[in-house]
Structure 1
Amino acid sequence: MPSLSEETGGRVSMLMPGSTIGIIGGGQLGRMMALSARYMGFRVGVLDPTPNCPTGQVADFQITAEYDDKTAIHDLAVQSDVLTYEFENVDAGAIDEVRGITATPQGTDLLRVTQHRVREKQFINDHGTATAPWRAVNNFDELDAALGDIHYPAVLKTVSGGYDGHGQLVLRSDADLEKIRSRSDRGGGFPPSILEGFVDFAFEASILVSGNGKDFVTFPIVRNEHRNNILHMTIAPAEVSEHVAREAHELAIRLAKGFELAGTLAIELFITKDDQVIVNELAPRPHNSGHYTIEACSMDQFDAHIRGIAGWPLPKPKLLSPAVMVNVLGQHVEPTRALIATHPEWNVHDYGKAEVRHDRKMGHITVLTDDPAKTVADLEATGCWDDLKKKA
């Protein structure tokens, strides 16, 4: 067991190869974390309720149990030198209970902030960074008052839970508001929520920042395109002004320092038509929009995450080639597999999920390119993603 430092919140001074990293969550992000860890010489354990989950397929061992099973989390902690997680809906209290058993370099403050949209927005604003206008709302009186400040259109989101658009309602008029009242009258209740004003953005973007608790590095800002509230494509790097690139880097470093970040943090952004950089959301882990880094960067987001939680130094990532990453959802598995033989430029990643479902993320494809616009057009021209064009 490596020595723990109380001054750094249970981080390890340096985790050596041969040590064990425990991952809570066994999906594709955990899988790619595990592969990075294995390359670096670490053993890997995973906690996930699905037997032979994507991470379990490449780990040394799997504990099959629900994510909130405190006994199972304790068992994983006992067998691990460091604990990490692949998604934010982890029981922070359960992690606190095992901090005396194993290192938890990310701590739980990061989790508690990013699990709660009001706390997240407040943290971002407190660290000198802009967000959409927002108000915390817990009942219809507060919602009416918030709409008086923010006006239509606005987005009502539950303060916790939700992903890929779940737990969100767009309010464009009083008619939409009445739908919420009707639902509440039918027993739907009014969960603690946040009302956010619309941002008139030119495009969506994101930036990754990684740290080891004291030193922090950023990856390039990238452009993201969503279809039906699910990330469809990432273009790296984003074509932005020097001002936008600098502001994205600086706000990422500010937030990382505020968290004393260990591991990788993704920051989702809106870039406005007048070059303002607005933070939308935080993800306390590697991110879908960072998958391009596996082929396109000198150090990918998963390597950076593992190095960060292991207390290793972090070199500044270099973009080796522009790239385009496109998600493969359940309905895209068959058409993309049928074209692998004729597209040697495709770097195909399959997540090893047993069940193929519509709109479920099953893998991704990354293409290194000197002409991202042409590559985007070439990918769309294959017809594999035509269903998203029809719905968009």
Structure 2
Amino acid sequence: MPSLSEETGGRVERLMPGATIGIIGGGQLGRMMALSARYMGFRIGVLDPTPDCPTAQVADFQITAEYDDINAIRELAERSDVLTYEFENVDADAIDQVRALAAAPQGTDLLRVTQDRVNEKRFINDHGTETAPWKAVNSFEELDAALDEIHYPAVLKTRSGGYDGHGQTVLRSDADLERVRARGDRGGGFPPSILEGFVDFAFEASILVAGNGEDYVTFPIVRNEHRNNILHMTIAPAEVSDEVAHEAHALALRLAEGFRLAGILAIELFVTKDGRVVVNELAPRPHNSGHYTIEACSFDQFDAHIRGIAGWPLEQPQLLKPAVMVNVLGQHVAPTRALIADHPEWNVHDYCKAEVRHDRKMGHITVLTDDTAETVAGLESTGCWNDLKKA
């Protein structure tokens, strides 16, 4: 493949329009990455097992195969100048095997840290940033010892895998612990895990940081509300003190510099009642809580990701107007579509997934506003999201 790039002298090789970006994963995040890349003049390939997946609908070509198919990953690399991914459960070893064929600006260290919750917690703590108290546990004996130190309530999570609450068990009492033991007795075993103490937080938040391997910029800190362990709503910006905002931005930059980040990193946070900022998890990709940036910011998280992996310069993004983003799950598709004609203020995003399923993320709606509280109340008053119980 002829080179379509020029050296910048930095960590990331600069791509020129006309180059091809290969995306591993064809869901909505890949779709929105591809749309941003299209505006910049890049071509897009995607690897996904589902024919005509959301990303493929806006791509130049699709390789239809499983994510761990090394031959398919090799083919994607051969047809691309740069590889990226839309989810973190990608085979880092497979990417390393094809790096002679296509650049991987995000590297694989970032993947290996964020794929393993113990590695992730260590990395965060080693870079001067607070997390919940935690212990690695690999047996029931180690779990008992960790509980003696951390105490109830706590959360038992598998070291790898899991999302939207999957792979997690809340332990509030010995009765919950016995249920975990019973699963093991029934052949469930004890997978490598991590025990985390509860954080007495005022609310959940997140912040995005983007880099091109040398320079880093941050988006605003936003407030998130989860229902049934799935992100329901994001309010931008979060109403926080200057001290909280400063710490969120500072820790985001510390972590980005630690990774020599190329692309975007989402950092899920707890803001405590006494004003501390505690990191919960990292996501080495665009994030659901960053969708508001498409309408509300001077450039969005997908633009930032593409610019970062393409080695382009990054300007500090500006929040142009406060916004509220709400997810549209499968059960919300029909009621929200029925109201589109009544809400010209709704910026409706449909991910064009072939199958509508309960609790599956099918799209989102963003509303720009001068009064986020009023907008939140207005969205809830439609009744479209009445099935989601508040915590």
Q: Which amino acid aligns with 2:22?
A: G
Q: Is the 8 A contact 1:129 1:279 kept in 2?
A: yes
Map of 1:223 onto structure 2: 223
Q: Which amino acid aligns with 1:223?
A: R
In the aligned structure 2, how far is the partner of 1:5 from the partner of 1:148?
Answer: 54
In the aligned structure 1, how far is the partner of 2:179 from the partner of 2:380?
Answer: 37
Q: Is the 8 A contact 1:19 1:42 kept in 2?
A: yes
In the aligned structure 2, how far is the partner of 1:102 from the partner of 1:6?
Answer: 17
In the aligned structure 1, how far is the partner of 2:382 from the partner of 2:8?
Answer: 54
Map of 2:85 onto structure 1: 85
Give me the TM-score of the superposition, normalised by structure 2.
0.98
In the aligned structure 2, how far is the partner of 1:4 from the partner of 1:125?
Answer: 37
Q: Is the 8 A contact 1:326 1:364 kept in 2?
A: yes
* Map 1:143-292 → 2, pairs under 5 A: 143-292=143-292
Q: Sequence identity, in percent? A: 82
1:339 counterpart SS class: helix
1:386 counterpart SS class: coil
Q: In the alignment, does 2:362 pair up with 1:362?
A: yes
In the aligned structure 1, how far is the partner of 2:9 from the partner of 2:267?
Answer: 27
Map of 1:120 onto structure 2: 120
Q: Is the 8 A contact 1:46 1:61 kept in 2?
A: yes
Q: Is the 8 A contact 1:204 1:223 kept in 2?
A: yes
In the aligned structure 2, how far is the partner of 1:50 from the partner of 1:355?
Answer: 11
Map of 1:321 onto structure 2: 321
Deviation at 1:186, TM superposition (A): 1.0
Alignment coverage as a number of residue pairs: 389
Map of 2:307 onto structure 1: 307
In the aligned structure 2, how far is the partner of 1:188 from the partner of 1:17?
Answer: 50
Q: Deviations over 1:175-230 (max 9, x none)?
A: 11111111111111000000000000000000000000000000000000000000
Q: Deviations over 1:56-96 (max 9, x none)?
A: 00001100000000000000000000000000000000000
Root-mean-square deviation (CA), in Å? 1.2
Residue ranges of structure 1 left out of the alignment (5+ in a row): none
Q: Is the 8 A contact 1:210 1:304 kept in 2?
A: yes
Q: Which amino acid aligns with 1:229?
A: N
Q: Deviations over 1:236-268 (max 9, x none)?
A: 000000000000000000000000000000000
Map of 1:18 onto structure 2: 18
Residue ranges of structure 2 left out of the alignment (5+ in a row): none
Q: Is the 8 A contact 1:156 1:169 kept in 2?
A: yes
Q: Which amino acid aligns with 2:96?
A: D
Q: Please list every run of at least 4 consecutive aligned residues from structure 1 whose deviation after the TM superposition is greater than 2 angstroms.
A: 2-9
Map of 2:63 onto structure 1: 63
- Note closer, same or farther for the CA distance 1:6–1:291 as it changes in structure 2 (3 Å cut): closer
In the aligned structure 1, how far is the partner of 2:228 from the partner of 2:7?
Answer: 45
Give me the TM-score of the superposition, normalised by structure 1.
0.98
Q: Deviations over 1:342-381 (max 9, x none)?
A: 1000000000000000000000000000000000000000
- Note closer, same or farther for the CA distance 1:112–1:8 as it changes in structure 2 (3 Å cut): farther
In the aligned structure 2, how far is the partner of 1:367 from the partner of 1:94?
Answer: 40
Q: Is the 8 A contact 1:85 1:285 kept in 2?
A: yes
In the aligned structure 1, how far is the partner of 2:169 from the partner of 2:10?
Answer: 40
Q: Which amino acid aligns with 1:78?
A: E
Map of 1:46 onto structure 2: 46
Q: Is the 8 A contact 2:5 2:19 kept in 1?
A: no
Q: Which amino acid aligns with 2:90?
A: V
Q: Which amino acid aligns with 2:303?
A: D
Map of 1:374 onto structure 2: 374
In the aligned structure 1, how far is the partner of 2:98 from the partner of 2:8?
Answer: 14
Q: Deviations over 1:28-77 (max 9, x none)?
A: 00000000000000000000000000000000110000000000000000
Q: Which amino acid aligns with 1:217?
A: V
Q: Is the 8 A contact 1:4 1:103 kept in 2?
A: no
1:281 counterpart SS class: strand
In the aligned structure 1, how far is the partner of 2:339 from the partner of 2:193?
Answer: 44
